[in-house]
Amino acid sequence: MVKFGVEKKTIFGRLGKIESWGPVEVQNSTPSFLTYLRGGHIPHLTWDVAGKQLELSQKHIFQLTLPSLVASAETIKKFGKGVVKFCAIPDKSAVHLSPFDPLGKLPGGYNDMKSIAIWTKNGKVSLDVAKYRNIINSFGCTSFESLVDYDCPKDAGSKRLTKTSERTRHFYEQLFENDEKVEGERIITIGGGFSKFHREKAANDLGGFEKTDGFNIEFHDFWKGEIDVNEMEELVKSVITALPPAKLRIISGPFSPPIILSLVKLGVDLFDSSWPVSIAEEGKAFCLSDDFASSLNCSRYEILDFNNEKFADDFTKPFDNCQCYTCRNYTKGYLQHLVNTHELLASILLVIHNMTEFDRMFKLIRNSISTSEDL
């Protein structure tokens, strides 16, 4: 099981503790994040580099995203020692399998009664329950998410919404039918698109299932483009009020600091680190304002865009107060040079800094919650 307990509830959000993730002891405080993996790695970092140069404040709980590995599913099965060993992920890590890649694409119109579509660099892969169960068992992750029919566009009528929620429920039941062996802790995914009614209904329908310690609120419609925060908040509220309050709530996606802060406020416990990776891949580094999370509306942060030539002549530390490997050893001017010449080292150094700062952000958030009054 995922051993999780809520320790405190405030207007800032709630503080919790994950004691263990399946058999792996973690002792992580929440709000926090799952470490985003692609190809079984923190993007651009070999495990050697991640282990030696990336220092975070809590143990990793990895989010193993499936699209980059699904083409190797047969190979991993033949390999026979699980995905952790196949990808050289550090031994005895908590690894959570997600069918989606928050930085990948997920166009609508490709799901059907039996399967959902996920997208790899080589195109579409249809994932039905039997195939997914096979992957879950041969990968041997600590936990996995149940399948969801994520295809509920804004203009979906109630008939369509009902159909998608039926499919999601069906995918879930089918996964375990006939007492099939399914290895790992289960996290139930709640869909429902833009409909508060169907979000709430899904939460009510699936929230009652036993044998789960956490819920993943599917929100890919908010991964890209301008986000209507109010709309998102309303939807999250409708789900969260219907979920059993003691259980873990996860939202995956490349969300910027202010959005994460507002979701924390609503009671979300876990996010993922796709956002710091995505801006690193654009040649950017971020830094939180000094007063970040000191009050409910302090969510400012600064972005340095190393594509900008103004840094070419600036050989000062990227961020004065950051102690990460990148800030300790390199300068803005050098990062600008690396981005400018499209050198692979640029993404490596920026991922290390951005992940460190992202980690610090959650520390600040937890501090603010712990010093706020209980609700």
Site of interaction with other proteins (CB under 8 A): 38-41, 43-49, 52-53, 68-69, 71-72, 75, 78-79, 86-88, 121, 312-313, 315, 329-331, 333-334, 336-338, 340-341, 343-345, 347-348
Give the position of tokens 């050289």: 88
Q: Are residues 247 and 214 in contact, defined by beta-carbon separation less than 8 angstroms?
A: yes
| Piece in contact with Zn ion (CB under 5 A), picked from 56-64, 199-207, 228-236, 351-359 | 351-359
87 annotated as a binding-site residue: no
Nearer to other proteins, 175 or 350 (CB): 350
The entry of other proteins, Zn ion, none that residue 6 binds, CB within 5 to 8 Å by partner kind: none
Minimum CB distance to Zn ion, residue 277 (Å): 15
Regarding 353 and contact with Zn ion (CB under 5 A), the answer is yes
324 annotated as a binding-site residue: yes
342 annotated as a binding-site residue: no
Regarding 190 and contact with Zn ion (CB under 5 A), the answer is no
353 annotated as a binding-site residue: yes
Q: Strand runs (DSSP E) across 121-220, as ranges? A: 123-128, 143-145, 185-190, 214-217
- Cα distances (angstroms) measured from residue 310 to each of 78, 114, 125, 314, 341: 52, 53, 44, 8, 15
Regarding 327 and contact with Zn ion (CB under 5 A), the answer is yes
SS3 of 28, please?
A: strand
Cβ contacts of 252-256, under 8 Å, gap ≥ 24 = 252/34, 252/63, 252/98, 252/100, 252/102, 252/216, 252/218, 252/219, 253/102, 253/219, 253/220, 253/222, 253/223, 254/102, 254/103, 254/223, 254/278, 255/222, 255/227, 256/301
The entry of other proteins, Zn ion, none that residue 68 binds, CB within 5 to 8 Å by partner kind: other proteins
The entry of other proteins, Zn ion, none that residue 327 binds, CB within 5 to 8 Å by partner kind: Zn ion
Give the contacts of 18 (CB within 8 A, at least 6 positions apart). 2, 3, 4, 26, 27, 28, 29, 30, 32, 61, 248
Nearer to other proteins, 60 or 169 (CB): 60
| Piece in contact with Zn ion (CB under 5 A), picked from 28-36, 188-196, 219-227, 316-324 | 316-324
Nearer to other proteins, 86 or 223 (CB): 86
Footprint of Zn ion (CB under 5 A): 322, 324, 326-327, 353
